[in-house]
Amino acid sequence: MSFDPGAEFDALQARGAAFLGTKIAIMGGAMSWVSERHLVAAISNAGGFGVIACGAMPPEMLEKEIAGTQALTDKPFGVNLITMHPKLDELVQVCLRANVGHIVLAGGIPPGPAVRAVKDGGAKLIAFAPALVLAKRFVKSGVDALVIEGSEAGGHIGPVSLSVLAQEILPHIKEIPVFVAGGLGRGEAILGYLEMGAAGAQLGTRFAASVESIAHENFKKAFVRANARDAIPSIQLDERFPVIPVRGLVNEGTKTFLRHQAETVQKFQNGELDKIQAQLAIEHFWAGALRRAVIDGDVEGGSVMAGQSVGMVTAIQPVVEILAELRDQAVAALVAREQTRRNAQISHA
């Protein structure tokens, strides 16, 4: 039987592609201000699976964003909803009325009513699992697929790397598809996780710097210039005042944030602020900072959220080119492995 590396790759990603209804089992990460109709439609039209980042949108705005996306693509796409949103139930209904086929519940444990509403409405439910115990719980609750996202990812992150999460979860969750995320920038890595049992992958950083991304040119160029070590989590100065870890590129804003924390802690110790006021002062520092970076192009003072795969962003490419490149890299790795196997056979003959 002749060796067909393309067919072998397609077989490995078949479960994920069938679940998403796509040619390639790659989801776009839901990035606030970035994952809107243009990028989402571009990913879906190129054979991947775009995901709208609802974030803090009210229901009426999400309704318009979904309609805008449907005007740009007839391919499947999903919507990412934050579980802490005060109008989560309304947002779920907006998605169901618009016939969105896949709903992602992120940012916490999916509430029972939302899970039931998604299932009863006929959509597929995707959840993020940060540990095996939660992955098992989600399977029992009726979740249709999982995403396991490592700390290499951009934006809000957990404490565990993808390489560890994959070893912890992939061998034990077989009932539903599991997509891997965090630090992925090349096809060889995606291939490796598919062979471990993943159904597909989710990428954000590479798509954020794509041609179709509405992010400011300054934002995209910052990605092209950056190395992996430039994308670090936000630093917490005092354990009394927790800082939610967010991975982004080091800039003047991150340095100012450290000074701001130090000054705020000093004010607390001096009695100028109580504990709640000090915590709010720290939390509010980054208010609007992501929008300033993505939309306004303030990459020095704004929050330039990026994953460690940013070092693999070497150019601003069209989405279709990014997806083709990832597939080509995976297929080339399969070809190289087959050549090695054949050479070994010849040497032993």
The number of folded domains in the chain is: 2
Query: What is the spatial distance between Cα 308 and Cα 290, in angstroms, rounded to a whole number?
Result: 17
Amino acid in position 95: C
- Does residue 111 sit in the same domain as residue 258? no
- Does residue 293 sit in the same domain as residue 332? no
Is the full-model pTM beyond 0.85? Answer: yes
- Does residue 131 sit in the same domain as residue 240? no
Q: Is residue 21 part of a domain?
A: yes
Contacts of residue 303, defined as CB under 8 A and 6 or more positions apart, other chains included, come to 246, 248, 253, 286, 289, 290, 292, 293
- Does residue 115 sit in the same domain as residue 237? no
Q: Is residue 59 part of a domain?
A: yes
Pairing of strands 102-106, 77-82: parallel
Instruction: For residue 109, give its domain range.
Output: 5-203+318-340
- Does residue 128 sit in the same domain as residue 70? yes
Q: Is residue 114 part of a domain?
A: yes
Q: Is residue 246 part of a domain?
A: yes
Per-residue pLDDT of the chain (349 residues; tens, 9 = 90+): 578 999 999 999 999 999 999 999 999 999 999 999 999 999 999 999 999 999 999 999 999 999 999 999 999 999 999 999 999 999 999 999 999 999 999 999 999 999 999 999 999 999 999 999 999 999 999 999 999 999 999 999 999 999 999 999 999 999 999 999 999 999 999 999 999 999 999 999 999 999 999 999 999 999 999 999 999 999 999 999 999 899 999 999 999 999 999 999 999 999 999 999 999 999 989 889 999 999 999 999 999 999 999 999 999 999 999 999 999 999 999 999 999 988 888 887 6
- Does residue 140 sit in the same domain as residue 82? yes
Q: Is residue 345 part of a domain?
A: no
Q: Is residue 348 part of a domain?
A: no
Domain CATH for 28: 3.20.20.70
- Does residue 20 sit in the same domain as residue 67? yes
Q: Is residue 346 part of a domain?
A: no
Q: Is residue 220 part of a domain?
A: no
Whether the CA torsion 248, 155, 205, 41 is positive or negative: it is: negative
